[in-house]
Chains A and B, each alone.
Chain A
């Protein structure tokens, strides 16, 4: 059986504490950022979700910057949301 070295233990402790102490804080920050991001995407590229928006020209100019986000954004907004997901906060 290999004994854990102090360096390994230190890494383990750092990871553990970052999840234990900061996991929730980081998640909240991410959710808030995601909320603004989703709102922006809906306002600019809402057509892709079936919302009739007028500004297609500007949407097309923004499209290259948002291509990377598109599939995750669509999946997030269109998937079934469960009431229980509140517990993940």
Chain B
């Protein structure tokens, strides 16, 4: 089938979702009112609460939600066939994805810009805030493990990539210094950064750096340590800024390449129902998170964005607009990879041997080559793009884990209050899990923690709507679907994939520990999810009873 058919499906989903469904929800359920004061206007403080233009905010939101996950997830899920992946991306974003991003932002805007934690505390129960923090901690730990493995494998598997990465890191320090200390013009700084980074990518093929997986992993841990301890302006922020140019150069040239070459999809539309990872349901629904629905977005929407919204009418273009844009990135990732391989066996062999980075490198490389760029350069752009993106996530993860470790352990272990000790604890746990765990299962557990966060966000919105006596059904059923699928996926991974090899004696040494540890994380996630469901149901009953009493009182008044 020609890849342009998939693009037609994309256009229909975006048209229906953005211009029809989201408009209807905005007007009829949340009743967005341009005259109601938003938190940004009420609590204006110059940093957190700060009204921003909707287009500026849309750009910021898109940049915050789109990382490497909307690309890696669909690539792994291609094993079930590209059709299920595209269908889930489309219907997921249409019925659940944008609904979550938009409605959690709206709930936060209507509640003084409260974060997801504060909302859980208010709407569900005090302990649900702690459960959310636990979801986030697991999510980040598993994310760091999955991405740490992907990066180390990508760097050790392709000798052309380490140099571009080193240059990108060096450029980030330079950019930070030029912008924040030397106050050099931003356009000039950007130009220097682009020349350096793309120069690095081009040179990578001529100056290959070969190192083993372990060396790369240790290098990554050192990088993570510095990323988490240096001031934000010195490294993380300029790195994120400089990395955008590589990422979007890749995405834009990829889109143009796909449109120009209009290749047929060479991978099978429907692969096997049951692959190494597990059956299509529930596994695919946690493997592809970003692009369809992701709990991460609810964090971004309820923290940064809701405090900068100038007007309630802006919530829809900013949040659901960014979600549909991310969906676009995922669809492109599916098309580039499904058109790049000659056969399914070729794809599977590459995935097994070199991981999703290699798949994406080949796929995007093919699309960029069709624009006339040299093949080696095009492939390096694909590889560097995904690694640079993954490193931005690693930066954020360890910074958060540092603070979380200080908060969680600081009270009991005074030493853990030291930021260097806190980072080291996070780095050591991650290193241990990377060395002992099996990354595909870790990816599923990470997806599980992420989707549980999404279920929590959907539950919060349901409860908010129930407490205000509005129609909550359009969000209740997606919540059930996400919750059941996610718990089932984690259960399946823990009890059918991780533990059986341990008990049958197939594994030895550290691998046993890794599997048991991963399975324990899975079980913990399930227990937390069950507690959350119980608390959520109690809260729901309370709101429904309150509404019934109110209706009764109103009926009494009229008679």
A residues bordering B, Cβ < 8 Å? 12, 15-25, 27-32, 34, 72-73, 75-76, 80, 82-89
Contact = CB atoms under 8 A, between A and B. Distances in A.
Tell me whether chain A's interface is mostly helix, strand or loop, or mixed.
helix
Given A83-B117, A85-B115, A20 B232 contact: no
A24 B61 CA distance: 10
Interface stretch (B150-158, B166-174, B396-404): B396-404
A20 B45 contact: no
A18 B299 contact: no
Given A82-B117, A84-B117, 5 more contacts: A18-B56, A82-B303, A83-B403, A83-B407, A84-B133
A20 B46 contact: no
B303 A87 contact: yes
Nearest to A31: B47
B59 A86 contact: no
Contact of A19 (B60, B115, B236, B400): B60
A22 B60 CA distance: 8
A19 B59 contact: yes
Interface string B299-327: 11001100100000000000000000000
A88 B60 contact: no
How big is chain B's contact interface, by range?
Answer: 35 or more
Interface string B28-53: 00000000000000011111101011
Nearest to B137: A83
B46 A16 contact: no
A86 B46 contact: no
A86 B48 contact: no
22 contacts: A15-B56, A19-B52, A19-B57, A19-B61, A20-B60, A21-B59, A23-B59, A24-B237, A24-B240, A25-B179, A27-B47, A28-B180, A29-B233, A32-B180, A82-B115, A82-B117, A83-B407, A86-B399, A87-B300, A87-B400, A88-B48, A88-B304
Contact of A75 (B43, B63, B238): B43
Contacts of B426: none
Contacts of B52: 19
A21 B136 CA distance: 27
B59 A34 contact: no
A16 B48 contact: no
Contacts of A20: 59-60, 62-63, 244
Contact of A86 (B43, B53, B57, B400): B400
A19 B318 CA distance: 11
Contacts of B115: 82, 84-85
B303 A84 contact: yes
B21 interface: no
Given A80-B118, A82-B117, A84-B116, A34 B46 contact: yes
A32 B234 CA distance: 11
B431 interface: no
A12 B55 contact: yes
Contacts of B116: 84
Interface string B353-364: 000000000000
Contacts of A28: 180, 232-233, 237
Contacts of B43: 72, 75
A16 B59 contact: yes
A53 to B, nearest CB: 23
B406 to A, nearest CB: 10
Contacts of A73: 45
Contacts of A15: 53, 55-56, 59
A33 B165 CA distance: 31
A85 B48 contact: yes
A16 B180 CA distance: 22
Contacts of A87: 299-300, 303-304, 396, 400
Contacts of A75: 43, 45
A19 B55 contact: yes
Nearest to A27: B47
B472 interface: no
A16 to B, nearest CB: 4
Contacts of A25: 179, 186, 237-238, 241
A47 B330 CA distance: 54
A80 to B, nearest CB: 7
B225 interface: no
